[in-house]
Structure 1
Amino acid sequence: MVSGGSATAVQRPAARARQARAVRAEQSILAAALAAFHELGFHGASMRDIAARADVGLASLYNYVDSKQDLLVAVLRRASADQLADTRQALQQARPTIADRLGAAVAAHVRFDVERQAECFVANSELRYLDARRRADLVAARDRQERLFEQLVAEGIREGAFRTPHPGEAARAILTMCAGVTIWYRPDGPLSVGGIAQRYARYALALLEGV
């Protein structure tokens, strides 16, 4: 007879294995959905196609999400969270001057846009197909990144490092400039990711009339 403690010990590895399988399945589904949305667009991609790309049954896919809109939300919410986390990490590692911190944030933003080009493309082109509630949720997540840049610009103005009279517009202009990289960047092009990120950091400082 197996004691209660022994039974629990046996169940723990099994539970961890189930959790690991669930994580792998989720990652596979999100990767398949991203590829389908990027290649075919929201309306062109079907749940059946996404299930086939993820190598799961259609019924299993519907166990994970209720609709194709929910899949698009999951893909874009993960991208927004990762981008914000990358930017915050860059700020923590930057030198303390506001010019260095703003430059680090811009470089991190550009690097993310280049390295996660498909997600950025889908966010810019397919967000409009979500219903109002889901779209508002994702816009709110995107706004957190914008507020971070607005705070950096405002801090630079208070310190006298930046002299723009329109901090909100300047922050949005910087983010729009960074997002534009996804339109023309090619991995086999002459510029490295790091080189592009550093150039755009300098462009941002010039826009703000920084030191």
Structure 2
Amino acid sequence: MAEHSPGAAIRAARVARGLSLRALASRVGVSPATMSAYETGRTPLTVERLRDVAQVLDVPAARLLAGDPAPAPEPAPAADPGGDDWRAFGALSLDPALTAALRVFVARGYHAATMRELAAEAGLSVAGVYHHYTSKQDMLVRLLDLTMADIRWRLIAARDESSEGGELGRFARMVESLALFHALRGDLAFLGASEMRSLAPAERARIVALRDEVQHLLDEQAARAVAAEGADPMDVRTATRAVATMCTSLPSWFRTDGPLTAEQVARRYAEYAVALLRTGPLPPRP
């Protein structure tokens, strides 16, 4: 295979976009063996087939013909985390494809959505979506990674903001940040709660580990708060899971045009969580 042949350019562009030979062949409508023959130069490309390949790879056909695969696209930034202010929730700066995926996944569910529908919602061609994302699964993973990263940095920033209120104050701010996220990033929160099951096993295990890390941050701070307060021994783990569940339910009922603001609700949730930690065990049954 010549270094600057059309076949070499096709292979380079395919690899740069994270596509397998089988995936590219499927989208072009040929067998993997035929696609391999195109890439190695054993089978000449027709003009029509070259155009098909170029459309899927989102590379001008003339560049492939000249043996130039064109540079791989830079992945668009997922979102602006909002600096270091954990209370600030600006508009998400997702690229058009991820914005569309978030809307469609929440409205119709991951499995019901098609790449053609996502492309139409984004105002892009299907090839344009594949230019940045290798699959629908890739888009879901990116959204869930964003969700967990956003929750985590806000929790840590809230905890470390100041020593005001001691260990219990740190815990209260962490709960406040968790509640704010679920109230103001409701679509991402809903997706994280409803579509974890749709991930491939390896990605599901990785995202679950990120979720567990967030829970452990809350567990550890709650344990420190209980110890510092000298409260009665209790099952901190059960209490913090009750708090987390309370926060994750917010997208099911909170509305930004409701009687309470997200900030008011988050503050109340923090107060409820503190009261829960201070509650001793129930007296034994007679």
Same fold, TM exceeding 0.5? Answer: yes
1:64 matched to 2:144? The reply is no
- The residue number in structure 2 matching 1:91 is 159
Query: Displacement of 1:111 after TM fit?
Result: 0.3
Q: Counterparts in 2 of 1:71-86, with a 5 A limit?
A: 71-86=139-154
Structure 1 equivalent of residue 189 of structure 2 = 120
CA spacing shift, 1:32–1:161, aligned 2, 3 Å:
farther
User: Corresponding residue for 1:103?
Assistant: 172
- Quick one: higher RCO (CA 8 Å, sep 6+), 1 or 2? 1
Structure 1 portions without partners, runs of 5+: 1-17
Tell me: CA distance 1:101–1:66, structure 2 relative to 1, closer, same or farther (3 Å).
same
- Aligned-partner Cα distance in 2 for 1:150–1:52: 43
Matched residue type, 1:102: F
Residues 22 and 129 (structure 1 numbering): CA distance in 2 closer, same or farther, change over 3 Å?
closer
Larger CA Rg, structure 1 vs 2:
2
Cα shift at 1:162: 4.2
Structure 2 portions without partners, runs of 5+: 1-72, 79-92, 280-286
Residue of structure 1 in register with 2:242 after alignment: 173
> TM-score, structure 2 length as denominator?
0.63
For 2:208 and 2:146, the matched residues in 1 are separated by 13
1:76-130 residue CA offsets vs partner (Å, 9 max, x unmatched): 1101101111111112224250111111000000000011001111111121122
Check conservation: 2:172, 2:273, Cα contact below 8 A. yes
Match of 1:147 among 198, 204, 216: 216
For 1:187-206, list aligned pairs within 5 A. 187-206=256-275
Would you tell me which structure has more helix in proportion to its own residues? 1
Q: How many residues align?
A: 192
Q: CA deviation at 1:37?
A: 0.3
Q: Which letter does structure 1 place at the counterpart of 2:254?
A: Y
What is aligned with 2:278? 209
Partner of 1:183: 252
Report the Cα offset of residue 204 of structure 1. Answer: 0.3
Please tell me the root mean square deviation across aligned C-alpha atoms, in Å.
2.1
Quote the Cα distance in structure 2 between the aligned partners of 1:202 and 1:161. Answer: 18
Report the 3-state secondary structure (helix = DSSP H, G, I; strand = E; otherwise coil) of the residue aligned with 1:187. Answer: coil
Q: Provide the rounded CA distance (Å) in 2 between the counterparts of 1:185 and 1:164.
A: 33
Match of 2:95, SS state, is: helix
- Percent of paired sites with the same residue: 33
Preserved CA contact (<8 Å) 1:153 1:167: yes
Per-residue displacement from partner, 1:125-148 (whole Å, max 9, x unpaired)?
121122221211111111111010
* TM-score computed with the length of structure 1 as normaliser: 0.83
